[in-house]
Structure 1
């Protein structure tokens, strides 16, 4: 285990719901995702961390989610994006084949932040390690609701997230009593259909 992932585990704790990554998937993403990420997959699988507040995921399973969020936007033509991780509340971390970690989507509010980046293929491994090292438990929480949700609703499975019903974009309340466990992929696609995806004010501009 390298020092970057070791530090990540120090911050988040041991994995839950670990799934092994088949060799065919490693082959599928060679040349598309950094070799360091594929090494992490081989060693650690896909799993939840921080009791399930942060998840590494199979990008292939989330292709419909990525399409539903960025289709018809400038993001769709800027790079080929793959979802590599998400939070328990639907923060989406997307990796561009050319631009690395250059897109983050907050699904509950249909907002995104775009990072203007420029990397060589050789630099993308270091960028991936930087991404892993910079993850924080608190930044994946939503209004400090994770621990109360964990206690009230139970631990998430690998294909689940906590979602608000009604959705916040439909006027729902962001309190614990309106939070439910729900299937992640289906709910994320549902949220993408509620309103247009718009940038945060601090987002870089997409050319």
Structure 2
């Protein structure tokens, strides 16, 4: 794991992060996998690649997480979410105490990305440990480019302004959600927590479609429509009416009932009252 972190695209540790306290290790033992706590002990809350990626203090980033999840109907059980890592532009990798690494946020674009497939692996303790490790060994990378040059925004900002510090993010002034302009010239280094809370409040947040869940649903539908032939044919369906016909009355059936009394004024057709819901 150490080699993976140190060698990822030359993203060496900056050596400017704080050490993880005993209180952190005690509070989050059992909340996060041991693989996460190992990275904490080894690197602390450090940055990599001149600030392109950061291991975050979940307590420090709690206000940001709360701002971004406020009012959002996530497709997961109710739970606490914590920010484990973030990018130079504030892209967050969140860990749910129930669902694990199943949510990522791109604040510049105002988008939350759920991943039900990851959440489904949390029941397996081995996969849980691996996913905790993968948050750091396969770090999220900013992929937004300059509107004019096509170059990565983060690369241009680091060349112009220097490394992104532990309490900084690359932001646009005015914010991208207000102008639609994304250039290195309009970017600056902003104070991380206040800036990201502002972005959560300044724009409509979007919950992106979970394609992992859609793929699982599609696979289940295909399995139902095309069952495995090795399992043999199912039971024969019961005989029913010919398509397009209605079953007629039986030989012992009496005359058809006439129409019932009309509903009283002010009552619903179904007897539920005006404007009422149908009775179930």
User: Per-residue deviation at 1:28?
Assistant: 1.3
Stretch deviating more after TM superposition (115-124 or 189-198): 115-124
Query: What is the SS of the residue equivalent to 2:204?
Result: coil
User: Per-residue deviation at 1:104?
Assistant: 0.4
Confirm or deny that 1:7 pairs with 2:4.
yes
Confirm or deny that 1:59 pairs with 2:58.
yes
C-alpha distance in structure 2 between counterparts of 1:7 and 1:43, whole Å? 13
User: Per-residue deviation at 1:194?
Assistant: 1.2
Map of 1:114 onto structure 2: 114
Cα deviation, 1:41-69, whole Å, max 9, x if unaligned, reads 01111111111101111000011101000
Stretch deviating more after TM superposition (16-25 or 80-89): 16-25
Check 1:98–1:5 CA distance in 2 against 1; reply closer, same or farther (3 A cut): farther
C-alpha distance in structure 2 between counterparts of 1:133 and 1:61, whole Å? 22
Higher helix proportion:
1
Map of 1:88 onto structure 2: 88
Stretch deviating more after TM superposition (76-85 or 172-181): 76-85
Bigger RCO (CA 8 Å, 6+ sep): 1
Confirm or deny that 1:163 pairs with 2:171.
yes
> Equivalences for 1:1-207 in 2 at 5 Å?
4-11=1-8, 12-16=10-14, 17-75=16-74, 78-116=78-116, 117-118=119-120, 119-120=122-123, 122-123=125-126, 124-135=128-139, 139-143=141-145, 144-201=152-209, 203=211
C-alpha distance in structure 2 between counterparts of 1:9 and 1:140, whole Å? 18
C-alpha distance in structure 1 between counterparts of 2:92 and 2:32, whole Å? 16
Query: What is the SS of the residue equivalent to 1:98?
Result: coil
With structure 2 as the length reference, what TM-score do the two structures score?
Answer: 0.67
Stretch deviating more after TM superposition (114-123 or 79-88): 114-123
Q: Tell me, which stretches of 5 or more residues in structure 1 are unaligned? A: none
Stretch deviating more after TM superposition (121-130 or 159-168): 121-130
User: Per-residue deviation at 1:175?
Assistant: 0.4
Query: What is the SS of the residue equivalent to 1:51?
Result: coil
User: Per-residue deviation at 1:134?
Assistant: 2.4
With structure 1 as the length reference, what TM-score do the two structures score?
Answer: 0.89
Stretch deviating more after TM superposition (157-166 or 192-201): 192-201
Check 1:77–1:201 CA distance in 2 against 1; reply closer, same or farther (3 A cut): closer
User: Per-residue deviation at 1:99?
Assistant: 1.4
Cα deviation, 1:88-141, whole Å, max 9, x if unaligned, reads 0111110111211100001001011100022127232111123333226xx324
Cα deviation, 1:157-189, whole Å, max 9, x if unaligned, reads 100011001111111410011101110000000
C-alpha distance in structure 2 between counterparts of 1:156 and 1:131, whole Å? 20
CA contact (8 A) 1:89 1:141 kept: no
Q: Tell me, which stretches of 5 or more residues in structure 2 are unaligned? A: 146-151, 215-280
* Bigger CA radius of gyration: 2
C-alpha distance in structure 2 between counterparts of 1:79 and 1:19, whole Å? 27
Query: What is the SS of the residue equivalent to 1:43?
Result: helix
